[in-house]
Structure 1
Amino acid sequence: MSTPAGYQPPSVAVATALPKRNVDSSVLIVPVVTAGDDEEAKAQVVASPYLDAEAVGAIEVALKALGAKGGSEQVTRVVAPSLPVSSVLAVGLGKNRDSWSAETIRRAAGVAARSLTGVETVFTTLSDLDLEAAVEGLILGAYRFTDFRSAKSAPKDRGLRKITALTPDTKSPTKETAARAEAIASAVAIARDFVNTPPSHLFPAEFANRAKALGEASGLEVEVLDEKTLAKEGYGGVVGVGKGSSRPPRLVRLTHKGGKGKKPKKVALVGKGITFDTGGISIKPAANMHHMTSDMGGAAAVIATVVLAARQQLPVDVIATVPMAENMPSSTAQRPGDVLTQYGGITVEVLNTDAEGRLVLADAIVRACEDGPDYLIETSTLTGAQTVALGTRTPGVMGSEEFRDRVAEISQGVGENGWAMPLPEELKDDLKSTVADLANVSGSRYAGMLVAGTYLREFVADGVQWAHIDVAAPAYNSSGPWGYTPKGGTGVPTRTMFAVLEDICENG
């Protein structure tokens, strides 16, 4: 099966001024704020060295005529004959203030990009406020997935093709900042493409092939274990989950050797790669089961992250271990009550075949710990309980307390909003089995997200600082688009994991 094109991100350039001649079908994005009280509120252009008083006045007059007030993420498009662009898009930042957070700029840029149907070229002064956030937001907001659209329904326009960020200085490190933002956003797009590819076209073997192609193209060492090797080497969780499908499981290992010195820091990444989850014999309700095309969102983010680490030449060793399986009901599927042996020897009574993610992850975690990592980050669309506890946009972060808090803080800093959660010791008692070392689910309906984290903790080697990021809902937006987040795959938590890797490079 040929690899589809996927999203082709726009190119990014930096410039110190608007073009001297008119650029057809181009738009200038300018930030505006709300000025005045509620009754007299109006949109006011944020000061920029690229707009003179005449241009600012013309834009504000046009916005007033349309009733624009500069509300947060409100977009209004107007004509500005005095500028060398076809139109101006004003995007609201809300009330006036001295500064805005990177996430505010990122979301404003994303909203702007989503509104620009038919526009191929943009210039932006959002870069005055935060260059990196503006570039990330524009690329992520412009994201579209059209690989399975026929000529009948495919968009007629090519989408955003070129971004020019206006900055006072186009020398380094400005260019480096823009390039870094472009690379990060492009990696998130890789994860989104994986999640949005339907399970008919992204099954374990195909997922492994695409991961291998990406890895080799980025200079990674790649190892792929097929179903025979998995069975021979004792990966009971991956094999057990994959037994019900005609499309056998895989396990992919991607290695970036960037560490320098005698003892470089080593980070293990693990991501859940269930390419479709029916629940197996413990079958899910039919309603919304199609959302389970996203059950490999953790694996998608891990693959994108290690590829990004290689492309950015991070000075740290990163080894991704990615189990891939399809959880289906059939005459060969594992049954509730079966006992399997996880990689490493722990036996598990499978009380619910829909709690399959923790089974494949346990195998991968044990294998990852054999590499002797200093840190281990695992992410997965693991539990519906994450959504109940934290909603659709907030990942739950569990693990070693110090590293858990570090990951959660970094996640909040990049706008992915991870929230630290505890792993109470008493929850382990809920995983006792009468016939095996562990049961894969608790008999209680409470604390489901934390119970899953407690299960995974049993497989982490002593001395390894680890974090588990549950992105059951944040990895897939089943409602309408918002900010720079489209409907469908979001790419969460790619930016969190990459930022943690950068932090480890800087601080150990």
Structure 2
Amino acid sequence: MSTSLAVNTESPSSLDADAVVVGYHSGGDAPEPASGAHDVDAAFSGGLAPTLSLLGASGAPEEVHTIASLGAVRAPVVVAVGLGPAPAEGPVDPDVLSRAAGAALRSLASRPGGTGRVVLALPAGSAAEAGAVALGAQLGTYVFDRYRTGDEAREQAEGRAAGSLVLASSAPGADAAVERAAVMAEAVNFTRDLVNTAPADLVPEDLAAAAQEIAQQAGLQIEVLDERALSEGGYGGLTGVGQGSSNPPRLVRLAHSHPEATRTVAFVGKGITFDSGGLSLKPAGSMDWMKSDMAGAASVLAAMRAISTLGLKVNVVGYLAVAENMPSGTAQRPSDVLSIYGGKTVEVLNTDAEGRLVMADALVRAQEDQPDLVVDIATLTGAQLVALGTRVFAVMANDDDVREAVVAAAGAEGEASWPMPLPYELRAGLDSAVADIANVAGERWGGMLSAGVFLQEFIGEGVKWAHLDIAGPSFNQGGPHGHTPKGGTGAGTRTLVRIAEEYAE
């Protein structure tokens, strides 16, 4: 259930609402009301800062305090959210604003009756600020209620997601920025929905069906290869990984075409709808969140819809490499040799390193579209969490400029990423005694990087390519923070759309 958002130039203190959200900065003897809050502060006769001081407010980012308005403004409560120190000059950092808006909306969502109608009086003096506030607020209202039962649970979920948002802003371009933010929020929340869906309800055929529905809605071209077509076409990675499951694999190709486009971008997403590890079985503690192993494919699907909605003047193809990795009498075995699409052979030494096998098939196929850039996105390695933790995804590339551009695109969208190398010396560790390459290295060190080196083997000469490992950031196992909920996060979705926008420009 989506939350509507409109821009309003009237005084936020005079608008009918259930709550008004303002920001404040840290520093000095008392918190300092931020831009956008001054009208509300005036309605309190300058009493916002003293009141916040009495409540122990420090102004730390995402710190939230709720104040009864007692008639000072039309809304019964004022929700004040910390923005950190005030910038010495220029606007507030958009990511800080976005996360603050999300934190405020999450706080309101926990109230009886949900969010209701909320006025956002956060800094919105520029289109960038307005878009950031709109994005964070709409991400902060996200709720996944598919499996909730009972009237009380349903009412609580509906209360969180329903209602309306009003952004107080008179900035030039605010309306357009808010419209883009709505498209981006819808894309991220759709990714979250797919990731949060129970794996029994999202087997490969289901994910392919979801892609067909999105393609029809968004006017995307679509092609779905079933298990027979994959076998006949020589897609050994997908068929090998999927052969252990009663739910056969799929390869989905989506395409957005624009008559004025001069460049083509290809996105490839890992779509392992559940990863048990196969015969190289995962321990139970590492398996209970493996419904999220299709987050890369989900982000590609959501990004494709957003790209179509925005009408970007660039050709974009999206591949979803979809399979379920299960142990059974028909599952692939350690030491099996697979023939990847295009003919290169891989010795499977560990069946839990399955994502790179399905991605290899899709990467080779994607290059047949002759793209100017290939970007793959995958929950590829547990080593990513060891290296970068749960909030920062890795970016590797075969071109320094491409790697820097992808990191910059992620940063512009407020997504935390970090550039990582592809050390040539790691390739020797993937040598196989019987095949062209092995799917894992003989030593444990640098596992995230060696996975990237493996994928690079399937990139043709002269093809520009980047690899995003989102294993940790794609699924939040801890508590919610900012505009990020527990569970599926939608990590990487906005970065993909931003890349497409830049290639359209």
- Which residue in the other structure is 1:492 paired with? 491
Structure 2 distance, partners of 1:488, 1:407, is 25
Q: Are 1:89 and 2:85 counterparts?
A: no
- Which residue in the other structure is 1:381 paired with? 379
Q: 1:482 to 1:238 in 2, by over 3 A?
A: same
Conservation of the 8 A alpha-carbon contact between 1:220 and 1:256: yes
**How far off its partner does 1:82 sit?**
1.9
Q: 1:91 to 1:466 in 2, by over 3 A?
A: same
Conservation of the 8 A alpha-carbon contact between 1:127 and 1:135: no
Which stretch shifts more, 95-104 or 402-411?
95-104
Structure 1 distance, partners of 2:152, 2:281, is 34
Q: Deviations over 1:288-309 (max 9, x none)?
A: 4111010001001111111110
- Which residue in the other structure is 2:124 paired with? 128
Structure 2 distance, partners of 1:110, 1:52, is 22
Q: 1:29 to 1:451 in 2, by over 3 A?
A: same
Q: Deviations over 1:138-183 (max 9, x none)?
A: 11111110111111662533214211111125xx632111100111
- Which residue in the other structure is 2:355 paired with? 357
Structure 1 distance, partners of 2:259, 2:374, is 16
Q: Are 1:110 and 2:130 counterparts?
A: no
Partner-residue secondary structure (3-state), 2:103: helix
- Which residue in the other structure is 2:249 paired with? 249
Partner-residue secondary structure (3-state), 1:468: strand
Which stretch shifts more, 387-396 or 324-333?
387-396
**How far off its partner does 1:79 sit?**
1.7
Q: 1:84 to 1:307 in 2, by over 3 A?
A: same
Conservation of the 8 A alpha-carbon contact between 1:257 and 1:317: yes
Which stretch shifts more, 233-242 or 149-158?
149-158
Q: Deviations over 1:96-116 (max 9, x none)?
A: 333421111111111101100
* 2:116 partner amino acid: E
Conservation of the 8 A alpha-carbon contact between 1:45 and 1:56: no
Q: Are 1:29 and 2:21 counterparts?
A: yes
- Which residue in the other structure is 1:483 paired with? 482
RMSD: 1.6
Q: 1:21 to 1:422 in 2, by over 3 A?
A: closer
Aligned length: 490
**Match 1:45 to one of 33, 56, 63:** 33
Structure 2 distance, partners of 1:250, 1:462, is 27
Conservation of the 8 A alpha-carbon contact between 1:17 and 1:50: no
* 1:113 partner amino acid: L
Structure 1 distance, partners of 2:443, 2:152, is 47
Conservation of the 8 A alpha-carbon contact between 1:475 and 1:491: yes
Conservation of the 8 A alpha-carbon contact between 1:106 and 1:134: yes
Which stretch shifts more, 142-151 or 409-418?
409-418
Show the 5 A alignment for 1:101-180: 101-117=93-109, 118-128=114-124, 130-151=129-150, 154-157=153-156, 158-160=159-161, 161-169=163-171, 173-180=173-180
Structure 2 distance, partners of 1:20, 1:465, is 52
Partner-residue secondary structure (3-state), 2:448: helix
Q: 1:468 to 1:259 in 2, by over 3 A?
A: farther
- Which residue in the other structure is 2:415 paired with? 416
Show the 5 A alignment for 1:1-400: 8-18=1-11, 23=16, 26-36=18-28, 41-48=29-36, 50-51=39-40, 53-55=42-44, 57-80=46-69, 81-98=71-88, 99-117=91-109, 118-128=114-124, 130-151=129-150, 154-157=153-156, 158-160=159-161, 161-169=163-171, 173-258=173-258, 260=260, 264-400=262-398
Partner-residue secondary structure (3-state), 2:153: coil
Conservation of the 8 A alpha-carbon contact between 1:11 and 1:162: yes
Q: Could you list the runs of 5+ residues in structure 2 that have no partner in the other structure?
A: none
Higher helix share: 2
Partner-residue secondary structure (3-state), 2:99: helix
Q: TM-score when scaled to structure 1?
A: 0.93
Partner-residue secondary structure (3-state), 1:272: strand
* 2:80 partner amino acid: A
